[in-house]
Amino acid sequence: MKRTLNSETPKNIGGTVKLSGWVNTVRSHGKIIFIDLRDFSGIVQVVFTPKNGEIYQIAQKLRPEWVISIEGEVKERPQGMINDKVETGKIEVEAKDLKVMSEAKTLPFPIDEDGYQIGEQLRMKYRYLDLRRERMKRNITVRQKVISRMRNFLQERNFVEVETPMLTKSTPEGARDFLVPSRLEPGNFYALPQSPQQYKQMLQIAGFERYFQIARCLRDEDPRADRQAEHTQLDIEMSFAEKEEIMDLIEELYTSLVKSIFPEKKITQSPFPRITYKEAMDGYGTDKPDLRKDKNDPNEMAFAFVVDFPMFEWHEEEKKWGAMHHPFTKPQTEDASEIKKSPETVLAHQYDFVLNGYEIGGGSLRTTDLKILLAVFEVLGHKKEDVKKRFGHYFEAFSYGVPPHGGIAPGIDRFLAVALNEESIREVIAFPKTGDNRDLMMDSPSEVSEKQLSELHLKIVKKKK
């Protein structure tokens, strides 16, 4: 017999169904045994009575989280036993057959609660159990709905989804790279992408005027609260578009996301406010202001764009300039000498996307004048010849006709955390890392064998104590 999902069971009153899932709870009322059987779609009450003989004997041994399969008749519950709290509360299944597919040890923590009271270390170690709780199932399911809506929205507007490589080139453009040694070219390395930045610009040169990707981004950053070594962003790039057009697109997208997936939420102000970086810093003391009218209202969503950022920021510890966004951002000047002489005065065509006091995305128009790009890298402390060597592919590509273009990359994890009223992005990621970039479930990072190191022509040099 073909399996029926628990949620479909009420459609089969008077018929026989086969159900499979986990034992959620076991209850005995006299000689009658009741279990709540859980699958991904919901919970169904199953009844075992002594008249079923051998099946009843097996049912007496059932324990929570055992995986079982049953066949039985779907019956309407007596009027006084209807449970309006669940979708299947008007029916129950009288079991005629029972198979135990897998037994389960006692879980290291309860999963019938929200889980906030349980230490994160324990939850991350047993993440596959933590994901069984209803709150986590909701979060991951909503994540899928948001991503699906993003895809549909952009495809309806002639955007093309393109996957870009995970093995790429290490370049001096932002955070620290994760490096991958090349076995076939000893001494050379790939880098995992901090973002698809260069590839999406290459796609604009290739004529893919409207590109997007649900992109995985990896950065080898020092431990920071609520940051991940890997995160997911909606990556967008457009040719022949001004920044207002890009911001309008994002406003339309996120307005539709809230209305379709989070109808209980209220957007504070529409159109989304545009605030300059100076106004934000002077008025709120931060470049990601919280514009909610009532900061205690969990259903209020205050979106805004912060614009006109400085092109550069001074790093006092290193005594050098850094890019406020990234080096490919277009400065609000076309004078290369001004960039090199007075970097502190140069503004950028950068726009950040903020929500309830969090930065949930950032974007910019891109530099297509290579003289300007060289000037930017020189301010950042790179020699002209080194830049041309590192970005030879970039300079070559830009010599074949490049359209003006720009983009934005809203973070999916942070948006979901805010929308679902979660304090940490780890609550909306199926298998997250801890704050210090460890995967406790897989016990990684971990050592590798000498054979693997030898194949890669690598040797571990241990720190002296």
pLDDT at residue 390, rounded to an integer: 82
Q: Which long-range contacts (CB under 8 A, 24 or more apart) does 133-137 make?
A: 136/427, 137/40
Split at pLDDT 50, 70, 90, the class of 385 is: confident
Tell me which amino acid residue 147 is.
I
Judge whether residue 190 has pLDDT over 80.
yes
Judge whether residue 39 has pLDDT over 80.
yes
Helix axes 243-261, 134-155, angle to 10 degrees: 140
**The pTM is what?**
0.93
Judge whether residue 295 has pLDDT over 70.
yes
Biggest distance spanned by C-alpha atoms of the chain: 92
* Percent of the chain predicted with pLDDT > 70: 99
Region 407-426: mean pLDDT is 97
* Total Cβ atoms within 10 A of residue 326: 18
Region 282-293: mean pLDDT is 97
What residue spans in the chain does CATH classification 3.30.930.10 cover? 125-309+348-368+403-441
* Total Cβ atoms within 10 A of residue 316: 6
Residue 35 · residue 92 · CB < 8 Å:
no
> Among 70-79, 133-142, 385-394, where is mean pLDDT lowest?
385-394
Instruction: Determine whether 384 is exposed, middle or buried from the number of CB atoms within 10 Å of its CB (0-12, 13-18, 19+).
Output: exposed
Split at pLDDT 50, 70, 90, the class of 173 is: low
Judge whether residue 225 has pLDDT over 70.
no
Split at pLDDT 50, 70, 90, the class of 412 is: very high
Region 346-350: mean pLDDT is 97
Class for the domain spanning 125-309+348-368+403-441:
alpha beta
Region 379-398: mean pLDDT is 88
> Among 153-167, 168-182, 333-347, 389-403, where is mean pLDDT lowest?
168-182
Class for the domain spanning 6-102:
mainly beta
Identify the three-state secondary structure at position 335.
coil
Report the half-sphere exposure of 332 (CA within 13 A, side-chain side).
16
Report the distance separating Cα 384 and Cα 302, nearest Å. 43
Judge whether residue 174 has pLDDT over 70.
no
pLDDT at residue 317, rounded to an integer: 87
pLDDT at residue 30, rounded to an integer: 87
Split at pLDDT 50, 70, 90, the class of 34 is: very high
> Comparing C-alpha atoms, which of 57, 54, 75, 66 is closest to residue 23?
66
Judge whether residue 465 has pLDDT over 80.
no
Report the distance separating Cα 215 and Cα 443, nearest Å. 25
Judge whether residue 388 has pLDDT over 90.
no
pLDDT at residue 172, rounded to an integer: 62
Q: Which two tokens stand for residue 416?
A: 């979901």
pLDDT at residue 62, rounded to an integer: 97
Chain mean pLDDT for the chain: 94
Element (H, E) at 54: helix 54-59
Q: Convert the pLDDT of each residue in 84-100 to its tens digit.
A: 889 999 999 999 999 99
In the sheet with 210-218, reading across from the earlier edge strand, the strands are 160-161, 210-218, 230-239, 405-410, 358-365, 350-355, 303-307, 274-276
What residue spans in the chain does CATH classification 2.40.50.140 cover? 6-102
